[in-house]
A and B are shown apart, each in its own frame.
Chain A
């Protein structure tokens, strides 16, 4: 099956810093989504991005499908950005990576 690897596993930032999270996957996919799980456990869909670049406020994502990786950029981080960021790939059914745990302190 498809393998999904996320890096780094943990990230600690000061408020206002920028960060880049990476997702590598082992096979061609037609579905790639980024999710944020907040400290209360709720999962929020951030992006559907099997290729190209999208932006939503301080967050943006880029997927290079031919090289099988995706990047999630967080600019001017805030404490509310803390939580776990998951990349998930596949088709109708998604395979999740193990996530990147982000801690933003004020």
Chain B
């Protein structure tokens, strides 16, 4: 199975800050990477697919980059609604696997 490792596991930041979350795959997954946002009590929401393609309706302050084994999710200017847990996932090689999550908390 492909292992997905996120860092950091948690981060504290303020509204307006720029935040970057990293995801590393245990083998080459090209650009087959998705990012999800999850708020307490709700299902994960797909933000980005193909490493950098923003889903319809997702604010442009979110961006993704990377290929191969190293990927990043960047939020350019944090808004109050962005405080949540973020997960990466490889959605192409069976079985699909998720990172352990990065909890973004208010400083």
Q: Do A and B bind each other?
A: no
